[in-house]
Amino acid sequence: MKPSTIYQEFEKLAESLEVKIIQEKGNFKGGYCLLEKEKVIVINKLKPLEQRIKALALAFSRLDISNIYMKPAIRDIIASEVIDL
């Protein structure tokens, strides 16, 4: 699966979980947070696409996604982030 396709799948996953993905410039890695009861994942748009995907996978690995349908390849990417922790 191409990185751009993987990123699009993460956007669909975020939408199904009602999580907002914000891309900003700066000197940070990014991650998941709650902002006034709004679920948000902030990623650094200056990073290469592969690093942004890794940040999204790490953020989703901290959420309950057990009952959400996603392509097996996306679930594997998220699971690999759990293993790396």
* Cβ count within 10 A of residue 56: 28
Amino acid letter, 80 = S
Tens-digit pLDDT profile for residues 29-38: 777 766 678 8
Q: Given a cut of 80, is residue 25 above it in pLDDT?
A: yes
CA gap 60, 78 in Å, rounded: 7
Domain boundaries, the chain: 3-84
Residues, the chain = 85
Give percent above pLDDT 90 in the chain.
Answer: 59
Write down the pTM of the prediction.
0.85
CA gap 16, 46 in Å, rounded: 26
Tens-digit pLDDT profile for residues 27-73: 777 777 666 788 899 998 999 999 999 999 999 998 889 899 999 99
Q: Has domain 3-84 been given CATH number 3.30.300?
A: no
